[in-house]
Structure 1
Amino acid sequence: MSNSSDDELKCWLKSALKGENLVDFTVSRLGNTEKGEGYMGDIVFVEVSAETSDRLPKIYNLVLKCSKRSPALRESMPVQAVFENEMHFYENVIPAFTEFQKKRGVSEVFNSVPKYYGSYVAEDMEVEVFENLTTKGYYLCDRRVPLPTNNLKLILREYGKLHAISAAMQDQEPEQFKLLIDEIRNVWKMFADKHDMETYYGAPIDEVHELLKTSLPETTAEKLKKFKTQINSIIKDVIEDPKTFSVIGHGDCWNNNFMFQLKNKTDENSLKVAILDWQTTKFANPITDVSYFIYACASKEDLEHFDELINIYYNSFSGYVKLLGSNPEKIFPFDQFIKDFKLFGKYGILITLLAIKVALCNKEEAPDFAETINTGFENTFSFKNKNQELLKSRMLYIINHVATQDIL
């Protein structure tokens, strides 16, 4: 999106900032993301110097999330749908969730998302505008390493609250909740209907199996090799036919989609998180978020305390459901949560195999969807990761863990 003109930027911002009551503004472009940071969109950082309707100056530090314009890409990928999904989440889901919580007397509502200003939509272009959180001291952790323990536990608690709102709203306001989920685009199904998922997700499985086959117990290595045969059934169970309790979930739980702020550097309890990228938000079993997040972001030491991690999530979920006036034991009891992990944990490990491969790749080898159109998206992740030893060490403890949990 580096080739977008200043006039285009101003046009997009005029649409997105219409609720700010600005008389006029100027735009300064501050930078763009690099290759590998976005697959169906690009990021532009800008500073807006504005004048309000009451003639007061105002400065905005903003992030523009812009879809790719490539006709071939938009034909092959659900580009428009993923942007519409995220717009729906910010424009409808978050306001409805906030109102629901406030009506039940919750003073500190779930708000672990960046501020959203608005959007611009045209026939071949979608743009979303957010507050630039780096100006408030938010930071990204290194995507090549697992999250620190405190950050990991914080997100599990926030996911618990997020999923609890869905649970309580379904219980108490089912018709209102149905209006929200009816507008969620099933982008996973759109993608799966057009592409060979066994090849797309199979490449990371093949690479990890080749790396680990002599380091794993023989039975575990064989299970990993055969995991490819489950790809289509895993995706079908998750995106086409959810059989159990479902919630509006995040959907993209790798560590590059969380920004953190430590308000008081001497007090770890002041840590806050903003959860980014809701384009693949979906109505699915909450374990699709929890398992993906834990496997993709936990260190070996934290994964050794797996029971503690899932208890942190479930205690947050059940406590918030109760706070909102519903009964978690009736909606999603802990024994059902554990039982469901056996099935939906498979989804978490499938996505993690791809997510860690991407997280550990160097910038020059990062795939670009726009460049893989001619060779087929199925081969997007067939490249061999250059950081083989790092990939091996990360995946070894994960595969050993899921084998002991009987998830492979």
Structure 2
Amino acid sequence: MVSDSEITHLVKTSLENDEHLREIIVNIPRHSKVEGCIGEIIFVNANGIAENNERKYFELAVKYLRYDRKRIESAIYSTVIEFNMYNRVLPSLQMFLSENGLINELYFIPKQYECIVSNIENVIIMENLKYTGYKLHDKKKNMNMCHIKMVIQKYAKLHAVSFAFRKQKPELFQELTKVLVEKDTMKHAVIYCTEMRESTLNNLDTALKIFKENGDEGLHHLLRTAVPKHPCDVLWDILNTEEMKTALCHGDSWNNNYLFKYKKDDCTKPIGVKIIDWQLSGIRSPVCDLSYFLYSCGSQEELEKFDEILEFYYETFSSFLLKLGNNPQDLFTFADLKGHWKSYGLYGVISCLNSLKVQLSDQVPIASNCGDGSERIAIFDLPVSDMSLFYSRLKSVVSHYFSVIN
């Protein structure tokens, strides 16, 4: 566990460099350290005197991972990916947008103060979103259409700007995303992370079993046919499909990676969203983000409006591309989008086997540090408190996927 003195030093250094503060005071409240999936998250508050001699105040979240021989390689890959996203890729996209007269279009990404990566540790210091009015959506409840459309809109803009950036600056795009390709966390995890492979297989077996127990022989057969081998090997095949029409994807599209802001106490209509945790980012089909998100966060009610959601996504995507000076018909058509769902939608189905288990469990997912060649992340195969709800959500996902591809 990282010490208070280490955190204090990191925060002071960050605010000195980024905000040009002096006489910095850092306070780490009791019980402010939280064990995350692959490291610690420490919430701190700090203040210091700015260049205009006024004291500025900050509420910060510090994500900290110290490497050692017990840290699984997939976890280390993920921190390198997130470091590159916050330190290079996302700032470059924002600069590209500014060059095209589009300001604050990536406002859904949290403000980041410092990224530190070395041979022994990885540190990311960012704004504590809870102090600016953002909060998590109840993970056990499906998101309504207001939430769904808000997230879909942000993904559409992220995907569109990556298409435009690659079209207009292909060499720079390739250089910026080189690390995302070479250290693709998901590709590594689906093959080498023992716990992910075990959990995903167990969750597939649970899905097949629950369909059979409830008399859904048709869904049982369809899912078994679509995933005839280990589900992680199917994910590997999807991730390694040669595809020219790809985008920069967030990659971790489950409930707890979105924080929403509301007007007063009306939690049905968000007025803002922040997308967090960019460790699984990669260059993939946009449908990898979309299917993972919709299948993890939507219920049958939302999935019945699939055509409306897809049209809303593409309208946002295409209009944003036009603002950036590109013709969407040359880069990614609506027909391409629908075709991609048939080719890559299974990524979302398999991913939600894990995410639904986590979302519908009362337990908190925690990573385990295992050495001696054993790589385990005990975060997916959690007990579900309401199996009838799990069955209902799962049935709507599988039914929807096969209705689309057939």
Scaled by the length of structure 1, what TM-score is found? 0.89
Match of 1:27 in 2: 26
Say if 2:243 is the partner of 1:247.
no
Match of 2:184 in 1: 186
Residues in 2 aligned to 1:376 and 1:86: alpha-carbon distance in whole angstroms? 20
Say if 2:106 is the partner of 1:110.
yes
Contact 1:146 1:297 in 2 (8 A): yes
Aligned-pair CA distance for 1:215:
2.9
SS in 1 for 2:361: coil
Aligned-pair CA distance for 1:269:
7.8
Residue 155 of structure 1: which of 137, 140, 151 is its match? 151
Contact 2:110 2:276 in 1 (8 A): yes
Residues in 2 aligned to 1:303 and 1:254: alpha-carbon distance in whole angstroms? 16
Residues in 1 aligned to 2:242 and 2:272: alpha-carbon distance in whole angstroms? 32
Shift of the 93–229 alpha-carbon distance from structure 1 to 2, 3 Å rule, reads same
Letter in 1 for 2:213: T
Match of 1:395 in 2: 394
Match of 2:135 in 1: 139
Match of 1:89 in 2: 85
Aligned-pair CA distance for 1:209:
1.9
Match of 2:342 in 1: 342
Letter in 1 for 2:94: T
Contact 2:368 2:377 in 1 (8 A): no
Say if 2:97 is the partner of 1:101.
yes
Residues in 1 aligned to 2:145 and 2:308: alpha-carbon distance in whole angstroms? 12
Residues in 2 aligned to 1:378 and 1:280: alpha-carbon distance in whole angstroms? 15
Scaled by the length of structure 2, what TM-score is found? 0.90
Residues in 1 aligned to 2:324 and 2:381: alpha-carbon distance in whole angstroms? 46
Contact 1:206 1:225 in 2 (8 A): no
Match of 2:125 in 1: 129
Say if 2:204 is the partner of 1:202.
no
What does residue range 221-300 of structure 1 map to in structure 2 within 5 Å?
A: 221-226=220-225, 227=227, 229=229, 231-263=231-263, 271-300=271-300
Aligned-pair CA distance for 1:8:
0.8
Shift of the 372–283 alpha-carbon distance from structure 1 to 2, 3 Å rule, reads same
5+ residue gaps in structure 1?
none
SS in 2 for 1:369: coil
Residues in 2 aligned to 1:206 and 1:377: alpha-carbon distance in whole angstroms? 20
Contact 1:43 1:64 in 2 (8 A): yes
Aligned-pair CA distance for 1:212:
2.4
Residues in 1 aligned to 2:403 and 2:372: alpha-carbon distance in whole angstroms? 39
5+ residue gaps in structure 2?
none
Shift of the 338–90 alpha-carbon distance from structure 1 to 2, 3 Å rule, reads same
Residues in 2 aligned to 1:285 and 1:303: alpha-carbon distance in whole angstroms? 20
Say if 2:172 is the partner of 1:173.
no
Aligned-pair CA distance for 1:54:
5.0
Higher mean displacement: 213-222 or 295-304: 213-222
Aligned-pair CA distance for 1:331:
0.5
Aligned-pair CA distance for 1:120:
3.1
The root-mean-square deviation of aligned C-alpha atoms, in Å, is: 2.6
SS in 1 for 2:389: helix
Contact 1:207 1:384 in 2 (8 A): no
Higher mean displacement: 178-187 or 130-139: 178-187
Aligned-pair CA distance for 1:28:
1.5
Residues in 1 aligned to 2:21 and 2:252: alpha-carbon distance in whole angstroms? 34
Higher mean displacement: 8-17 or 201-210: 8-17
Aligned-pair CA distance for 1:371:
6.8
